Structure 1
């Protein structure tokens, strides 16, 4: 919600450089969100339709459609993020053991 975001920015004392706080910020955020949504929609359409056009034009066997390819990429990216988070948590676990820190227990 651009209006709510603009109000939150105004209350916290933050602002967008060159844009007046309040209604002008809300209009600016709405305009930027519209542009991003449009660009994202064109990109997703291109990713989904490009394999279909290539299959039709070059008559090549391609076993994944555009939508399937998009799902595979998103799932792979999510999996990689989860693996990185898991590895980072193990690094912090080792650090806490070295510091002899026991979380949740009060020192006696």
Structure 2
């Protein structure tokens, strides 16, 4: 039986970063996100407050992203700020959130 809760967290939801490269090429990088799934009214209210509010609320962590040295990128305020200003990242998080909250199957990376 499904047990309903107002909010829940899904761990390691698979997604991909789509990164534009020279010559119109797009490279896909597998990543995974930990996401807090909110009641629809709460999600819609956060959207009105701006993308940073949404991202900080729904994103609980990530894997598959490295820093300049290639080490796993830690979830810090500085790294969040940098990633939240990079469209491939925010697009991937929002895509993953929509899939997880709607029950759409995760994409296989």
Report the TM-score when normalising by structure 1. Answer: 0.22
Instruction: Give the TM-score of the pair, scaled to structure 2.
Output: 0.21
Bigger radius of gyration: 1
